[in-house]
Structure 1
Amino acid sequence: MMQVFDERPGGIQRAPHEPRILAAGHQVSLREISFSEVDDKDGLMLAMLRGLALTDSFGRNWDALYDVLTDPEGRPPRLALLLCDYLHFCKRHPRLSADLERVLLDAQKTLDTQDRQLWLLTEEPDSDTRHW
């Protein structure tokens, strides 16, 4: 069976079972970002800061987030972002999530042209049975 890390990243995908173990086996660095307590742009930027282990000098705006994700010095060439509780966040904040998706997908496309990979994986609580 084909695994998500065997293919080039494409958009926001559902996380496979045991994503942390799979990422390690495929030499993909994995960072977890929790959206369960994000209620506004400041909270979202704080979640990204924590999840990506950024310093307080992170600009906390869309351009700064794009720059951080596409920085060849600051990011590994194979990176996966595990977006935890993301679908609920999207339902609660459709405009904010649309802005975030634009930045994430732009970064993913840019990295692809540099032969680097950025997987965007959603992981929902076990009770969530919806599919993309």
Structure 2
Amino acid sequence: MSEDLTGRLAVTLDLVDVTDKAGLMDRVASALALPDWFGRNWDALVDSLSDHTVWPERAVEQGLLIVVRDWRPFAEQNPQEWGTAQDVFAEAVDRTPALAVVLALGGSS
């Protein structure tokens, strides 16, 4: 985690080698250190992204920026799931002005 130019706490969500929804949910849970009770479904994801009580402590005060990297292979292999993931990210951002989600272009290297 680091701080972005807007002062938000930046968290990288790296999707390298993620091939399915379960892998995506596991990676999000790990990147954001979500609680064990996180349900690993789309509704639980939008709720968690919108809920300051499960955010990293500094993010509650500063805001949260999630940078999604290496998403293109997942998107190409799972276009329907990727579409849903984008909808979930958009809904969470709409609910929570302190949250921003960006898709990084290029790879992780």
Fold equivalence (TM over 0.5): yes
- 1:118 maps to 99
CA RMSD of aligned residues (A): 1.9
- Which structure 2 residues correspond to residues 1-132 of structure 1 after superposition, within 5 A? 20=2, 23=4, 25-75=5-55, 76=60, 78-111=63-96, 116-123=97-104, 124-125=106-107
SS at match of 1:54: coil
TM-score by length of 2: 0.81
In the superposition, the TM-score normalised over structure 1's length comes to 0.69
Give 1 or 2 for the bigger CA radius of gyration.
1
Please, which runs of 5 or more residues in structure 2 have no aligned partner?
Answer: none
1:12 is matched with none
Residue identity in the other structure for 1:117: A
Shift of 1:55: 2.4
Deviates more, 1:84-93 or 1:40-49: 84-93
DSSP 3-state at the match of 2:52:
coil
- In the TM superposition, what is the alpha-carbon distance from 1:53 to its structure 2 partner? 1.1
Structure 1 unpaired stretches of 5+: 1-19, 128-132
Give the % identical residues: 28
Report how many aligned residue pairs link the two structures: 102
1:23-64, Cα deviation, whole Å (9 max, x unpaired): 0x4320111111111111111100111111112221101111
Higher helix share: 2
